[in-house]
Chain A
Amino acid sequence: MRRSYRTSVAQPGVESDLFGSSAASRAVAPAAPGSTPETAIPVASITETARAVIEGSFSPLWVRGEVSDFKRHRNGHWYFCLRDASAQVRCVVWSRSQRGIPTSPDEGMEVTAYGQLTVYAARGEMHLNVTAMDAVGDGLWRKAMDETRLRLDRDGLLAAARKRALPYAPMRVGMVTSPDGAALRDVIAVIRRRAPHVSLVVSAATVQGVNAPAEIVAAIQRICRFGEIDVLIVGRGGGGREDLWAFNDEAVARAIADATVPVITGVGHEIDITIADLVADHRAATPSAAAEAAVPVRADLLAALRGLGDELSSSLTDLAARARSRLEEGATSLKRAAAIDAERRRAAIAATAGRLNALSPLATLARGYAVARASDTRRTLSSIKDFNADDLFTLTVRDGEIVARVTETA
């Protein structure tokens, strides 16, 4: 707002008379402040007046020039000059004003700075109190993104190997976004259509403005602490570059990287690629596309389940068939083994019988020998001592026995 201003230094309508030619006028109108050595005004007055004049005369405005003598003070404020071929103006960016500026400008960078022209009393200098700034061709935004990307890359957060696979069939999807935004409505519609069995849990955050990065970080951390989600969508609908800027914030990127579940980003439109997209496990072009990536179609899941059921049935059938054929094989080989065994036994018996036959005393008898045995005890009588005169004994020959009597002993 332009301030109304009335000078306290010059007094239009009152003619000053340095030579004091009119005694009468000196008597009624004392000398204007600053018009004589006696009425000299203090320095603070003139700087304060100059400040009031300048601030009253200039609304905040955009100024174009080249950055030089850029200094970042310990207290966080930025100081630099904006200059062109013939002039320069001092600029200051208070640290609290820097939130609206992507990053600090480079030396020699052609920028446009928006601010209030004012006077800094302590130095008696005119300066531009800058609250917004950009370089020609989005230079500052690009520079800020490049710087953030470099820092994240240095920490390995952009590595492809970090990217986690999305769950095959999430039952609960988390989303960090504005509860009033178009993005949420789009995501709800997609989930209802594709996977009506899936629940959505919203962790609310403002998604644009200076508070957006901190709120998005807090919302991501909150839903990760909650924990009962399988995958997280972070996003918002389309908007201008400044509207999407929170998703280029380094803290947001780091919160996404630290999330306990895989993260899908869906920010703005097809062409918008943000830092958050680079860190996410999966980048979708829009919130709707993010929802499609998050949830599979229920009919497909059911079909896959039926397929598994078929596999289960056939695996058991196959197993039973294999077991039966093994059993049959076993029976056949058992029979074969048994037959071989019987034949072997038969042969062995025959051989034994042959040997037995050879050893049999009957064979000896067949050759003409006879065996004498006591008639009563059937003891074999093999010595003359076994015989006494008139003893009866049995004599076994090849084809029978005869009873004999001892007539004479030696």
Chain B
Amino acid sequence: MSYEKRVARLQDIVAELEGDGVPLDDALRLFEEGIEILRLASDELTTAEGRVELLIERVEGVFETRAIDD
């Protein structure tokens, strides 16, 4: 799941929990899912190391990327 999709899912979960009519069992399940997403998203931001790459198309539709020294 992309970072943005994770954040969007997290927002959905919060909205659902804030609304009425979530049975307690479901609420706990949603909460656990939310905590897991929070952890993954946070990890993604803090551990990912951005790379700079040059895109090369070997033949049409076949790609490779090569690190650019900067």
Contacts and interface: CB of A to CB of B under 8 A. Distances in A.
B70 to A, nearest CB: 5
Interface stretch (A9-17, A131-139, A193-201, A384-392): A193-201
A312 B35 contact: yes
Given A197-B45, A222-B57, A315 B52 contact: no
Contacts of B50: 191-192, 195-200
A31 interface: no
A37 to B, nearest CB: 69
Nearest to B57: A222
Interface in B21-70: 22, 24, 27-28, 31, 34-35, 38, 41-42, 44-55, 57, 60-61, 63, 65, 68, 70
A318 B18 contact: yes
A168 interface: yes
Nearest to A308: B10
Contact of A298 (B14, B34, B45, B53): B45
Given A222-B57, A319-B27, A305 B70 contact: no
Given A171-B2, A302-B45, A202 B68 contact: yes
B10 A323 contact: no
A202 B53 contact: yes
Interface in A22-44: none
Contact of B55 (A198, A203, A305, A311): A203
Interface residues on B, range: 35 or more
The main secondary structure of chain A at its interface with chain B is: helix
B35 to A, nearest CB: 7
Interface string A169-188: 10100100001000011001
A199 to B, nearest CB: 5
A169 B52 contact: no
Contacts of A179: 54, 68
Nearest to B53: A201
Nearest to B64: A226
Contact of B54 (A199, A204, A309, A312): A204
B53 A200 contact: yes
A219 to B, nearest CB: 8
Contacts of A196: 49-50
A316 B54 contact: no
Nearest to B60: A225
Contacts, number: 107
A305 B42 contact: yes
Interface in A271-312: 298, 301-302, 304-305, 308-309, 311-312
A167 interface: yes
Contacts of B54: 179, 201-202, 204
Contacts of B70: 184-185, 188
Contact of A312 (B2, B34, B44, B61): B34
Given A200-B50, A200-B52, A225 B61 contact: yes
Contact of B63 (A226, A230, A298): A226
Given A188-B52, A315-B14, A226 B46 contact: no
Contacts of B68: 179, 202
A305 B2 contact: no
A204 to B, nearest CB: 6
Contacts of A212: none
B13 to A, nearest CB: 7
A305 B57 contact: no
A312 B31 contact: yes
With most chain A CB atoms within 10 A of its CB, the pick from B4, B27, B50, B57 is B50
Given A225-B57, A305-B42, A312 B52 contact: no
A309 B38 contact: yes
A128 interface: no
B66 to A, nearest CB: 10
A188 B51 CA distance: 10
A386 B68 CA distance: 125
A204 B18 CA distance: 48
With most chain A CB atoms within 10 A of its CB, the pick from B20, B28, B44, B52 is B52
Contacts of B22: 319
Interface of B: 2-4, 7, 10-11, 13-14, 17-18, 20, 22, 24, 27-28, 31, 34-35, 38, 41-42, 44-55, 57, 60-61, 63, 65, 68, 70
The 6 closest A-B pairs by CB, nearest first: A315-B17, A197-B48, A312-B34, A199-B51, A198-B50, A316-B31
7 contacts: A168-B4, A196-B50, A197-B49, A226-B57, A230-B2, A305-B7, A316-B31
